[in-house]
Structure formats: structure tokens, C-alpha cells
Amino acid sequence: MGPNIPPLHLVGIELIYTLIIIIFCGIIYFKTKEIYDLSKHKGIGFFRNTFLFFALSYLVRFLGQLFILYRSILHISMRRFIIKPHFVIFPLITYFSYVAILSLVFSSFRKTKKTNINWNLVIHLLAIISTFFVFLSGSAMILIGLQFALFIVAIVLINIKPKNKKNKSMFSSLHVTYYLLFFFWIINLFSFERGPTSFILNSLLNIFSIIIFYSITHRVIKRLSNVQKKG
């Protein structure tokens, strides 16, 4: 079915999908601004960074798709470019998504060890190192491999929680949401690497990703408005 669909339709769908994800990320980022400004709580800061950088990752991913599609439509040769576009797109996606995922992981992990480590610096250093590898290789598969490794590390780190935590389960609803968020991000990268070949598969992938972002946004709004009513 995919090849019969005009590419512009796919571009349109991807544009709407990207906009929805960016809007959800924006809602989370701006809704939590006030409580962050008042508390300067590091966990809230990392949480906000997660959605800021996820929004940037999705934006670059969309721009990359747009470029790939239009290059194929207009038959633009890659030889016209001094710097190959994927040498810019892949590293940018790597950097933004690494900062996003690591920020979410460190938002809770940093509580397990009371140290003076500047976790923000650690996150950006790890992201820069990964970006460097992806830039050197210029390969989407290296990017996906690194993201998958990070996904495994994230599952381990998210589960290293302080002992007095109420929820010790590996499968709390919040953790499951985070695992799905990471998982669908990696699947999204696969889809980006392969190109929009199947309309149905792409649509399903987009719908699932939107549901995950919606559930987090809904939880943020509900939490902020619920307590406001009590106060």
C-alpha cells in the first residue's frame, strides 16, 4: 500500500504527528515552569529537560524525513552537498535524544546517591561522546545501536531506587510509560532509517507514540490541577 500513497500525504501525516508530539512536550515543559521556578528542584528540572529535548529530537527527525522525501521526489543528487546531510541529522538526533532519555533517567536516579556530581554535565558529556561516534560513522544503525544500549541502561538505572520508595515494582504504571516512550522512540528511528514504506505501520507507530505522550501530558495536567483544587 505504501508505494501507492503520494509522498506528500506521508509528509503531511508526519508533520501532523510531529506537531502533536511537540505540542504535548511544550505543554509539559510550560506547565511545569512555575513549580520549577519556585522550587528549583533538580528532579523537576531534569523532567522538563526531557520533554524539551524530545521535542527537538522529533523536530530534527521530521526535518530529516522531509529532506529524504524531497530528495527522492526532485531527484537531487547527494553529490551536490559539501557535507552529507545525514552527517548533520543523525548526530543532532543522537545529541537531543540522548539528553532527553538521560534526563528522564537521572531525574530519579540522582536520588540514590547523595553526591556533588553535576549530573547535568554528565548527561551532556555522554550525549556529546555518543554524538561524536555517530558523526564519525554517519550511520543510522550506529545511532540505533547506541540508543538501544541506552534503553537497556535506562531500564537498569530507573530500577535502582531508594529503599524507602513506596513503589518498588519494576512495572509501576509510570515506569511502563517510560519504557514504552524509549521503546517507541527507537522504533521511530528504525522507521526513519527505512523511510516511510508502509502507511499502516507508520500510522500505527505514530498513534502509539501519541498515546504515550498524551498519557504523560494528561498525568502532568491532572496532578497540577488536582492539588490546585485541594489548595
Partner 1 sequence: MSKKRDRLEVIYDILIIIRDKNNSIKPTPLLRFSNLSSQSFNEYISELLNKEFVKEIYDKKNKKFYSLGDKGFKYLEKYEIIKGFIDDFEL
Q: Encode 112-177 in three state secondary structure.
A: CCCCCCCHHHHHHHHHHHHHHHHHHHCCHHHHHHHHHHHHHHHHHHHCCCCCCCCCCCCCCHHHHH
Closest contact distance (angstroms) between CB of 113 and partner 1 is 15
Which residue shows C-alpha cell 509510570?
174
Nearer CB in complex with partner 1: 50/65:
50
Instruction: Decide if 90 contacts 118 (C-beta within 8 A).
Output: no
Q: How far is the CB of 46 from partner 1 (least distance, A)?
A: 7
The residues of the shown chain that bind partner 1, judged by CB under 8 A, are 32, 34-35, 38-39, 41, 43-44, 46-47, 107-108, 111, 161, 165, 167, 174, 219-220, 223-224, 226-228, 230-231
Residue 132 CB contacts under 8 Å (≥ 6 apart), including other chains: 91
CB nearer to partner 1: give 108 or 131: 108
Cα dihedral sign for 111, 112, 116, 122?
A: negative
Q: Which is nearer to partner 1, 84 or 165 (CB)?
A: 165
Minimum Å gap between C-beta 74 and partner 1 is 45
The nearer residue to partner 1, 9 or 33, going by C-beta atoms, is: 33
Min dist CB 170 to partner 1, Å, is 13
